[in-house]
Amino acid sequence: MVIHKKIAKYASEESSRLRKFLVLFIIGFFLIFIGIIILIVAVVLSGDSVNFGALIFVGPFPIVVGAGPEATWMVLFAIIIAVLSIIMFLILRREMEKAYV
Cα angle: 99, vertex 22, 36; to 5 degrees: 120
Q: Which comes out higher in pLDDT, residue 49 or 30?
A: 30
Range(s) of the domain holding residue 92: 49-101
pLDDT in tens, 31-79: 988 988 887 787 778 777 777 777 777 776 777 777 777 777 877 887 8
Say whether both 53 and 31 belong to one domain: no
CA–CA separation, 23 and 18 (whole Å): 9
CA–CA separation, 44 and 27 (whole Å): 26
Name the CA dihedral angle for 42, 44, 45, 48, rounded to a multiple of 10 degrees.
90
Q: Does residue 1 carry a pLDDT above 60?
A: no
Position 101 scores a pLDDT of: 65
Position 27 scores a pLDDT of: 92
Q: Does residue 29 carry a pLDDT above 80?
A: yes
Say whether both 101 and 59 belong to one domain: yes
Provide the domain count of the chain: 2
